[in-house]
Chain A
Amino acid sequence: MTRAEIYNRVVGILIKSFELDPADIKPESKLFEDLDLDSIDAVDMFVELHEVTNRRIDPQVARQIRTVDDIVNLVERELNGTSAAPSAAPAAPPANDPKDS
């Protein structure tokens, strides 16, 4: 997936999951302040991202997400396998996934 394709996918997820107006979503939009998402929405967003990348979300990266662009960066890194602290385990079976230490 190219970066543009990833961006479009992320925007699609935001529109579908949170009923946002496409005109409000920009790369620099802040998720919590500008788009009015909250901690519950974040769970849904991570579920969606998990399905795009089929990889476990890296907790360190997840915590640093502030903007739409940050999400695009995360997906891009996960898909390219260049996350800062990648967790190689696939989505299933979760019971066998290694814990981050």
Chain B
Amino acid sequence: MDIHTVDIAILGGGLAGNLLARQLRRTLPSLSVALYERSSDTSWKVGESTVELASNYLTRRLGLSTYLYENMLPKNGLRFFFDTPEKDAALVDMSEVGSMSFTAYPSFQLDRARFEADLLRMNAEAGVDVHIGAKAHDLALHEQAAPSPSGLHEFSVTENGVTHRVRAKWLVDASGRASLVARQKDLRIQTPEHGIAAAWGRFIKHADMDDWGPPEWRQRVRNTSRVLSTVHFCYAGYWIWFIPLGRGVMSVGWVGDKSIFRDDMRKPDGFNNFLREHRAVWDLLKERAELLDVLAYKQLAYATKQFFSGGDRWFLSGEAAAFTDPFYSPGSDFISIENDFITDMIARDHAGESRAAIAERSATYDEFMQFRFQATLLLYKNLYPTLASYELLKLKWEFDIACYYNLWCAPYFHDEHLDLQSLRGELRRKDFVIQGLENFSALFQRLEAGFRRQGLLHRRNLGHATHSISTIGFLDDLRTPRTRRQVLRTTEAIFNATRTAALDLLADLGETPVPGERTLPLYEFMLATPLA
């Protein structure tokens, strides 16, 4: 059997693997990179929407700004619409949360099939040894505890009926849910605490939301494009997305509590029938729209015991490692941070840094990814019922987006995640941050329960609109690094603004003994005690 030897082998030619290959060629041009993609055609995938952190990675780190603006659609933020309990509201009557101008930091809607095909081509042109229709199998990791005879990771690849053996110094598994490494190392952890399913399809010949309804409805958002937003139609326990892929194609998907999932949603007729139950959604599709394909997952989220083993030179990126929830499109954010960590560890290893130092760094990077996973899951876990209400999701959205910019985007923009000292400082505070997020989760759950008990979840779901976010006045400050005090001050302001609004809602319900203190010092939010 032929043996091919390469410095870095990447399993998987999807988003995670392709972006990493590009990053490695740009950062470490002296190292050879081979990429193995099992599928022989770049099939359609979901995960089209990027948010600001991933877009920063794509534009700043990977130099894809011009490519993205020329070939993909710019994204006009997130947009939410709310319905009646009977799901019979017309689109223009629905309450709306969404901006009337493009966001301050760029983001994009990706047609994954086109993007990944282009990345494969660009990577091949940049010298990556790209193998399409190449199935990897019979993996033997070379680990300090269990060395392989060659002293390198080894696996077999079968393509065009021929099998050869590959040896690589560094191995990155970016092969998605089928991950060879995750299976072999038994890394997967189920997350029954977040039982969310999804079904999705691509439509053509759908109606144009930007050429819809009366002129006043479009002028309400200054005629900015609603189509270019990731549009969410929100219901108790689930949401339906509309994401434009360009060239007349619209991705439409359902994500919701597993108990609502119906097996027939895996089939075109069943999926269409489900969508038909929602007037505003169906008005945009109707019989004229053609459903090109449909896919589904019964359980979306899963965790991993480990993301990286820098000491043993193997790494996971993207869905080979873990997945939380698509609501705020965090998938490509995870890829961005993981690929940065992987590239950094390979670069240090290649430069001769000791294996012990890299193992220590790897453990810190791993701990950060686990922290990020835990914090991200807290945005969603037990909170799908709040989607029913314009008032509740508006409050939660303003909290979530402000925390996202303040705590996650800003440090990334200035590469603080690659500074071990800064990362360790952040990890020292992680229990407090997690406690703060848990406290807010409990507060949102309490509000939802109160609204539901009194039958008020839908009371403002028609005729209301929010087009600006009061909690993100600090966005301009993110262009330069901020001191930790500035970050914490901003955190304190976000927490107080959200809690104050929540207290007002509770008072409105007549459910709360409103405490004397309207504003709290930051540490109070991070203690194990209810916020109201």
Chain A residues within 8 Å of B, Cβ to Cβ: 38-40, 42-43, 46-47, 50-51, 56-57, 59, 62-63, 87, 91-92, 94-95, 97-100
Contacts and interface: CB of A to CB of B under 8 A. Distances in A.
Contacts of B521: 38-39, 42
Contact of B431 (A50, A59, A87, A100): A50
B247 interface: no
B434 interface: yes
Given A40-B522, A46-B432, A99-B442, A56 B489 contact: no
Nearest to B528: A100
Interface in B489-528: 489, 492, 521-524, 526-528
Q: Which 5 A-B pairs have the closest CB atoms?
A: A39-B521, A59-B527, A59-B529, A42-B523, A94-B431
A75 to B, nearest CB: 16
Determine the main DSSP class of B at the interface with A: helix
Given A91-B431, A94-B431, A43 B527 contact: no
B492 A40 contact: yes
B479 interface: no
Interface of B: 374, 428-432, 434-435, 438, 442, 485, 488-489, 492, 521-524, 526-530
A95 B526 contact: no
Contacts of B488: 40, 43
Contacts of B431: 50, 91-92, 94
Contacts of A87: 528
Nearest to B519: A39
A36 B328 CA distance: 40
B522 A94 contact: no
Contacts of A51: 428
A47 B429 contact: yes
**Counting chain A CB atoms within 10 Å of each CB, which of B428, B488, B489, B523 scores highest?**
B523
Contact of B434 (A62, A63, A95, A100): A95
Contacts, number: 60
Contact of B523 (A46, A92, A98): A46
A78 B530 CA distance: 22
Contact of A62 (B429, B430, B522, B523): B523
A99 B528 contact: yes
Contact of B432 (A40, A43, A63, A99): A43
Contacts of B485: 40
A93 B488 CA distance: 23
B528 A39 contact: no
A50 B427 CA distance: 13
Given A43-B522, A59-B529, A99-B530, 15 more contacts: A40-B485, A40-B492, A40-B522, A42-B523, A43-B432, A46-B432, A47-B432, A50-B431, A59-B524, A59-B527, A59-B528, A62-B527, A87-B528, A95-B434, A100-B528
A4 B526 CA distance: 29
Contacts of A56: 528
A80 to B, nearest CB: 20
A57 B529 CA distance: 11
Contacts of B530: 99-100
B528 A97 contact: yes
A81 to B, nearest CB: 17
A51 to B, nearest CB: 7
B527 A57 contact: yes
B432 A95 contact: no
B434 A94 contact: yes
A91 B429 CA distance: 11
Contact of A39 (B429, B430, B522): B522
B407 to A, nearest CB: 13
Contacts of B529: 59, 99-100
B434 A43 contact: no
A40 B489 contact: yes
Contacts of A47: 428-429, 432
A19 B523 CA distance: 20
28 contacts: A38-B521, A39-B492, A39-B521, A39-B522, A39-B523, A40-B488, A40-B492, A42-B521, A43-B429, A43-B522, A43-B523, A47-B428, A47-B429, A47-B432, A56-B528, A59-B527, A59-B528, A59-B529, A62-B523, A91-B431, A94-B434, A94-B435, A95-B374, A97-B528, A99-B442, A99-B529, A99-B530, A100-B529
B176 to A, nearest CB: 26
Contacts of A63: 524
**Counting chain B CB atoms within 10 Å of each CB, which of A46, A51, A98 scores highest?**
A46
Contacts of B492: 39-40
Contacts of B442: 99
B528 A43 contact: no
B492 to A, nearest CB: 7
A43 to B, nearest CB: 5
Nearest to A42: B523
**Counting chain B CB atoms within 10 Å of each CB, which of A40, A42, A43, A50 scores highest?**
A43
B163 to A, nearest CB: 43
